[in-house]
Structure 1
Amino acid sequence: MINRTTRAFFGALAIVSVGATSAPALAQDGNAEARLRKIEAEVRALQRSVFPGSNGRFFQPEISGTAPAQPTAAAPTSTAVTDILARLDALESQIQSLTAQTESNANSLNEMETRLSALEVTRTAPAPSIDAAPSASQGNLSAMTGGASTPPPPPPPPAATGPSAQRLAAVQAIAKPQTDDAADDEYSYGFRLWEAGYYPEAQQQLALFVEKYPNHWRATYGRNLLGRAYLDGGKPAEAAPWFLRNYQSDKQGARAPDSLLYLAEAMIASQDTSRACIALAEFADTYPAIASGRLSSQYEANRGKVTCN
């Protein structure tokens, strides 16, 4: 028979056993509650980051089953799709710009090819003669003379019959200078032939000089004198291109004013009053001091031969 003391002992033992078995359960419940609260807090933080409201507080996302929230001013202004669309718009704009630039370059290239073709045609076309009549729009010396800036070739050698023995002897009697300046010797010999009145021989000699020494300081004298050799020999049409060439080659050359004035004389001799007046006008405009000084007598004499507007 179990006594009261024994029953009390077993009762206490049972209480201890129950307490021992319920303690882990209570601890587990506490841990689960803490974990649940932590997860809920992290979800709320995630929701605030992903679905922020106008005041920065959490509100239910559209997937929660509630009515979708109205967009607010703080809604995202750029997404991956809008970025792609913006980049596509920029690419289309660049392509359009490149296309327009390509078309413009193509047009410019076509125009350039057209001009080059026209230039080639012009270069291969025969040069007009100074005797061609000037158009109404030609008001300067270059337009007036057309292709006259290309002088004719030197005259051909004398015919088989040749000059007379007397003429040959007279020409041979004119000594050619022999100095340390070969170019100047060639010019001086041509000058002596011209001065003696042997114009065909002077033409050949001076043509040789200007062709061989185009950059010599005497070149301006040689071209001018070659024109005079033709003019004095009764060939104004052959003289005019040399006068023009000398003037255009170096307008500040020593004999450039003379050539322009002699060009007017060649036009007068050719009975071309219009071109003579143009040459005289350019002479007065380009060399006013010389027109009233060194060449004033020759200038006034030429003006008296023609009536210019």
Structure 2
Amino acid sequence: MLKRTILLLLLGAAATPLAAQSAPDLNARVGKIEKELRAVQRKVFPDGQPLEPEIVAPKPAPEPIGGPASSPVADLTARVDAIETQLRALTAHVEQNGHRVGQLEDQVKQLVADAQARAAAEAPPAALVPPSQIDQEAPPAPAVERPSTGDPAEDGYIYGFRLWQAKAYGQAETELKRVADKYPDHRRASFAQNLLGRAYLDDGKPALAAVALYDSYKKWPKGERAAESLYWLGQALTQLKKPADACKVYAQFGDDYGAAASASLKAQVAAGRKQAKCG
């Protein structure tokens, strides 16, 4: 009996240093996970206001003064529980956002189909275009100079911009569409597609504008005019008397670009939300 007791004491003494050695390693790993989770939260919740979980673990009662300190394992367990709660909140937010994007895509696809049908019904019959005229540049507008820098995409966009400024909307639409279609990898593609939508709006064609602006956001989500395209898409939908859809677009703007957008663009979106009577 005495030998067994001594053996148990020796085993316990040997196990204590091992536990002390593994606890800091585990603590460091949990600390690293917490740091990574905070980084993800900053991306998912750019405004610094994460969703509160529906079920929150009860706060532990304070230890009485003079009471024994909690063990390292208990502390780590509590931290892991907190991480799991935060992950559940993040997962719910991402799923909700994905569902909303899917709904927006379905609605815009229907809008595209409606706009195409309307354009086909309103377009007057025309003769077939000779093959020799396909993909030719539009004739120059009076008093509008075409730049010549050696970069055809840059030149085309600037020329389309000048045509738009001169209110030569038909020629501007042709030029801007050509740039976006022919040079999709150029940084000016995002600019051209966005301005194409604005030209349609100014030309009294909100349905075609909605299609062009949605394509600007969808094809170039990281383009320099993607955020602005969502704002103008909301404007086009408002003109089409679809305020509920416009509000969804403005909400998507907040999710995707709200943290990085300029103050002036945020003010425009806020005015658009008010115009559409968003809740």
Q: TM-score, normalised by structure 1?
A: 0.48
Supply the distance in 2 between the matched residues of 1:185 and 1:170 (Cα, whole angstroms).
13
CA distance in 1, matches of 2:272, 2:170: 26
Report the counterpart of residue 163 of structure 2 in structure 1: 193
Query: How far is 1:291 from its partner?
Result: 5.0
Deviations 1:111-142 (A, max 9, x none): xxxxxxxxxxxxxxxxxxxxxxxxxx996321
| 1:232-251 alignment runs, 5 A limit | 232-251=202-221
Whole-angstrom CA distance in 2 between matches of 1:223 and 1:248: 11
Matches within 5 A, 1:263-302: 263-290=233-260, 293-302=263-272
1:203 aligns with 2:203: no
Deviations 1:288-307 (A, max 9, x none): 22456240221111011022
- Which structure has the bigger radius of gyration? 1
| Alpha-carbon shift at residue 213 of structure 1 (Å) | 1.4
* Root-mean-square deviation over aligned CA pairs: 3.2
Alpha carbons 1:263, 1:279 under 8 Å: kept: yes
**2: distance between equivalents of 1:235 and 1:179?**
32
1:144 aligns with 2:114: no
Separation of aligned partners in 2, 1:138 and 1:203: 28
Structure 1 moving runs of 4+ over 3 Å: 137-140, 147-153
State the shift of 1:262 in Å: 0.5
Q: Which structure 2 residues correspond to residues 85-234 of structure 1 after superposition, within 5 A?
A: 140-148=103-111, 171-234=141-204
Question: SS in structure 2 opposite 1:201?
Answer: helix
Q: In the aligned structure 1, how far is the partner of 2:140 from the partner of 2:262?
A: 40
- The structure with higher relative contact order (CA 8 Å, sep 6+) is 2
Flag structure 2 segments of 5+ consecutive residues without an equivalent: 1-99, 128-138
Question: Quick one: distance in 2 between partners of 1:171 and 1:191?
Answer: 12
Match of 1:104 in 2: none
CA distance in 2, matches of 1:228, 1:211: 17
| Equivalent residue letter for 1:177 | P
Q: How far, CA to CA, are the matches of 1:295 and 1:149 in structure 2?
A: 25
Structure 1: which 5+ runs fail to align? 1-136, 161-168
Deviations 1:117-175 (A, max 9, x none): xxxxxxxxxxxxxxxxxxxx99632122125568969x989x89xxxxxxxx9923211
